[in-house]
Amino acid sequence: MKKGLFLLFAAGLVAGLAIWGFVEGREEVAAEAEVEGAIPMRSRVLVQVDGIAVELDEEARKRAGIRVASVRLAHRSGEVEALATVLSPQELIDLRKAGAAARAEVERARAAARASRREYERMKALHGDDFNVSTKALDAAQAQWQADEAAAQGAVVAQDAVTLGARQRWGAALAAAVADDAARFRRLADGREVLLRVAVPAGAALSVPPATVGVVAGDGQLRDAVLISPAPQADPRIQGPTFFYAAAAGGLLPGTTLPARLLVGAERSGGIVPADAVVWWQGKAWYYVQGDADRFVRRELVDAQPVAEGWFVAALEAVQVAVGGAQMLLSEELRSQIQVGEEGT
């Protein structure tokens, strides 16, 4: 009887241990999965007067690969947003051919007129020397000379029409570069540079076009373009003045329209936020400023001008911003918000 009770007790004990082990094992697995799914850092998200802050200790920052960099102070003029259209060089190449053909026709016609004039003068001399040539032959020579002179004058008029048309379409500076086969035209014709027509909105305060403009290429990079001359025609889309600029051809395809930024007005003081510091969320750009050693405050990137190194922000002081791990900070902030929401349900 006692032996049967002992066996029953032993069996119950083994079953209880098995159940306890199973439950503990599941809890441990769940805990490990939670740790693996979370960002490996300890943090607190704080709501401050100056914005949302993520607090991380030094160890957590190292694990997340967060580095800081100083905002570089700079001075930059105000901006006017414009549209830059990348033009095909074919029209300029065709204009070069038309101009060369017109000049050749002028030279041919003038040469013919000189030859017929010499012939007329020879015939006139012979006619006066005891009528060695007939009056009819002299009259024919004179008629030929006059016809060739008229043809030469017509060729000059045609050449002038090509020149005037080129100036009306492209402006004096660009038309002259094409006519003279200048280095500027050669770079455009062989594809080393592209020609941009930059259109400024009507009413923009732009008395003198800037020597350079920034064009945002298709890859998002800012490219510098150099002023050639004002364009003689307004842009029909925005009814504003236009200007011709030249830029290196890389990444700028003819036929595309790209945003452009013209620096105008008085210079403003500010700082340049590095490109690596900017993260995007809800359709807006943000960056994290390091407050004290362990806190990073999220700020919206507003009224910023794109520059080669990143973004120029007026009135921005020489603060430290998070680079290299800015996206990790945003992820940690959003994860903490989700956890708070789950605890409140």
Token representation of residue 140 = 């024919």
Question: What angle separates helix 135-170 from helix 90-128, to the nearest 10 degrees?
Answer: 160
pLDDT reading at 16 higher than 50: no
Using DSSP bridges, classify how beta strands 43-48 and 279-281 pair: parallel, antiparallel or unpaired: unpaired
pLDDT reading at 4 higher than 50: no
- 90 backbone dihedrals φ, ψ, rounded to 5°: -60, -40
User: H or E segment at 322?
Assistant: strand 320-323
Q: How far apart, in whole angstroms, are the C-alpha atoms of residue 45 and residue 147?
A: 93
**Beta-bridge partners for 222:** 216
Tell me the pLDDT tens digit for each residue of 104-134.
Answer: 999 999 999 999 999 999 988 888 777 678 8
Residue 292: its pLDDT value, please? 81
Q: How far apart, in whole angstroms, are the C-alpha atoms of residue 119 and residue 103?
A: 24
Average pLDDT, whole number, for the chain? Answer: 84
Tell me the pLDDT tens digit for each residue of 265-298.
Answer: 778 899 999 999 999 999 999 999 998 878 999 9
Residue 43: its pLDDT value, please? 59
Token representation of residue 266 = 């008085």
Q: What 8-state DSSP symbol labels residue 233? A: S
Residues 55 and 43: beta-carbon distance below 8 Å: yes
Tell me the pLDDT tens digit for each residue of 291-343.
Answer: 887 899 999 999 888 887 899 999 999 899 999 889 999 998 888 776 644 45
Which residues fall within 8 angstroms of residue 69, CB to CB, at 6 or more apart? 274, 276, 277, 320, 321, 323
Helix, strand, coil fractions of the chain, as percent rounded to 5: 45, 30, 25
Average pLDDT on 226-241 reads 89
User: H or E segment at 205?
Assistant: none
What is the biggest distance separating any 2 CA atoms in the chain, rounded to whole angstroms? 170
pLDDT reading at 97 higher than 50: yes
Token representation of residue 48 = 């401050």
Q: What is 117-168 written as a DSSP string?
A: HHHHHHHHHHHHTTTSS-HHHHHHHHHHHHHHHHHHHHHHHHHHHHHHHHHH
Kindly report the pTM of this predicted structure. 0.63
Token representation of residue 270 = 């500010």
Residue 133: its pLDDT value, please? 82
Report the alpha-carbon angle 299-303-307, nearest 5: 95
Tell me the pLDDT tens digit for each residue of 188-220.
Answer: 999 999 999 999 988 776 768 899 999 988 877
Residue 343: its pLDDT value, please? 52
**Beta-bridge partners for 286:** 279, 300
**Beta-bridge partners for 230:** 243
Percent over 70 (pLDDT), the chain: 84
- 213 backbone dihedrals φ, ψ, rounded to 5°: -130, 160
Determine whether 36 is exposed, middle or buried from the number of CB atoms within 10 Å of its CB (0-12, 13-18, 19+). Answer: exposed
Q: How far apart, in whole angstroms, are the C-alpha atoms of residue 267 and residue 270?
A: 10
Residue 307: its pLDDT value, please? 83
* Other CB atoms within 10 Å distance of the CB of residue 136: 8
Which residues fall within 8 angstroms of residue 5, CB to CB, at 6 or more apart? none
130-to-120, 126, 127, 133, 134 alpha-carbon distances in Å: 17, 8, 7, 8, 10
Residue 115: its pLDDT value, please? 95
